[in-house]
Amino acid sequence: MIIYYISPSEMPSRTANSIHVARICEAFTSLGHEVTLFICRTLPESDNLRSSIEKFYGISLREIKLISFYSRWWHIALNLRIALFASCFVLVKLIRRCSQDIIISRNLYAAFFLKRLARRRLLFETHELEYGFRKRIQGAIIKDDAVPKVFISKALYQRLCEHHGYAIQKSIILPDAAHAGVNRLQPQQKVNLRKEHLSSQDLDKYTYHAGYFGHLYSGRGIEIVQALAARHPEIAFWIYGGNDEQITLLKQRNNANNMKVMGYVNPSNVLEIMSMMDVLLMPYQKMVSIGGRNRSDTASYMSPMKMFEYMAAGVPIIASRLPVLEEILIDGQNCLMAVPDDPLSWSGCLDKIKGSEILSEKLAKTAHDEYRQRYTWNVRAQKMIDLIGK
């Protein structure tokens, strides 16, 4: 089967949507499908685009055809320009072919154009609520019962139904996922990896290693990590992520010797570094920014990719007790959950995991087993194909 995947993404880049697109397209090819991927490239020339994307995301593009354009003004009507660029290409291909090609779009405008113009199978995936003119376009797509829809959480589905005043049909809830084939590490393997990745650090000072991975936007909970570092000087807290400006600012404001601001790590390396930790922290707050366009309050319907990467890493997780996270995480079964903005609650959870190898092993193993069975990109990709075929 040939899949035309129309993204909202510029690649390679640090955006979560570009990581999602890279991973799911690779999963489609691993299932035996051919993928044509439409993107805005961040490199002026296309000569090294393929190798740059493979290296940055840690994926294979062997069965993926890249169709890209470059613009110095990436963020000006980016989705619309990708949509026009991709839609014209796809329409020509569909007119010439009689096979059962399919179109998967995370691009709002492309889904709208092709729903009306292409008499072919189209799947639309959205991760957010739209407003203004974009809300009308989103509503036209999700109200079309002939178009299969993918949403990343039950909460998002419910919010969209309320947002548009319509009970959405022919849809499926598919959370984000993690790369397939990740194995848990033995204790000595963790020690060896820490020596490899943290060779410039004084590791002998610390008896335990906690990791935070993700953006440093408002609501991501870095204040909780700072509070934990002050309360637990025997633990090293490793902070990975953020853009250059945020990383510099956090380093300037960091007064804790045991909180290490390490900067951004490429998606190709992130799971290995997660796996060498003793515990992983996911301190989302009740209001979470996703950066850009002044949007916030995704805490009620998000499906963080790092949650599934944490599960894949096979390391015990402490997460905020938020309803949308509880769609996946169960306190005491595959994680411990803390009150989002209460450092004492987080400190108590940290003490429980650090003080009990039995509890730590139970949480880590259960989460990892669930990842392998339910939350790989391959599993997600197959469910998308199945939905289109219904």
State the DSSP code for 184: P
CA distance 290 to 293: 9
Q: What angle do CA 285, 278, 216 make, to 5 degrees?
A: 30
Distance, in Å, from the CA atom of 149 to the CA atom of 107, rounded to the nearest integer, reads: 13
Element of type H or E holding 136: helix 133-142
Terminal C-alpha separation, the chain: 15
Give the pLDDT of the chain (390 residues) as one tens digit per residue. 899 999 999 999 999 999 999 999 999 999 999 999 999 999 999 999 999 999 999 999 989 999 998 877 656 678 888 998 899 888 888 766 656 789 999 999 999 999 888 766 899 999 999 999 999 999 999 999 999 999 999 999 999 999 999 999 999 999 999 999 999 999 999 999 999 999 889 999 999 999 999 988 777 899 999 999 999 999 999 999 999 999 999 999 999 999 999 999 999 999 999 999 999 999 999 877 555 444 556 788 999 999 999 999 999 999 999 999 999 999 999 999 999 999 999 999 999 999 999 999 999 999 999 999 999 999 999 999 999 887
DSSP at 298 = G
Q: What is the pLDDT of residue 126?
A: 97
Adjacent-strand bridge partners of 235: 208
Give the chain's domains with CATH numbers: 2-177+376-389 (3.40.50.2000), 187-374 (3.40.50.2000)
The helix-helix angle for 377-389 and 16-30 (nearest 10°) equals 70
Are the C-beta atoms of 138 and 108 separated by less than 8 Å? yes
pLDDT at res. 94: 75
Report yes or no: 58 and 268 within 8 Å, Cβ to Cβ: yes
Residue with the two structure tokens 């209460």: 342
Residue 253: exposed, middle, or buried by beta-carbon count in 10 A (0-12, 13-18, 19+)? Answer: exposed
Number of H helices, E strands in the chain: 14, 13
Cα-flanking dihedrals φ and ψ of residue 263, to 5°?
90, -170
pTM of the model: 0.94
Question: If residue 235 lies in a helix (H) or strand (E), which one and from where to where?
Answer: strand 235-240
Structure tokens at 213: 């991975």
Rounded Cα distance, 354 and 350, in Å: 6
In whole angstroms, what is the distance from residue 197 CA to residue 269 CA? 10
- Which is nearest to 310 in space by CA: 332, 288, 268, 278? 278
List C-alpha distances in Å: 85 to 39, 68, 110, 311. 9, 9, 9, 37
SS3 (DSSP) at 352: helix
pLDDT at residue 100, rounded to an integer: 72
- With H, G, I as helix, E, B as strand and everything else as coil, classify residue 59: coil
Neighbours of 162 (CB within 10 A): 10
pLDDT at position 384, please? 97
CA distance 279 to 318: 7
CB–CB of 18/10 below 8 Å?
yes
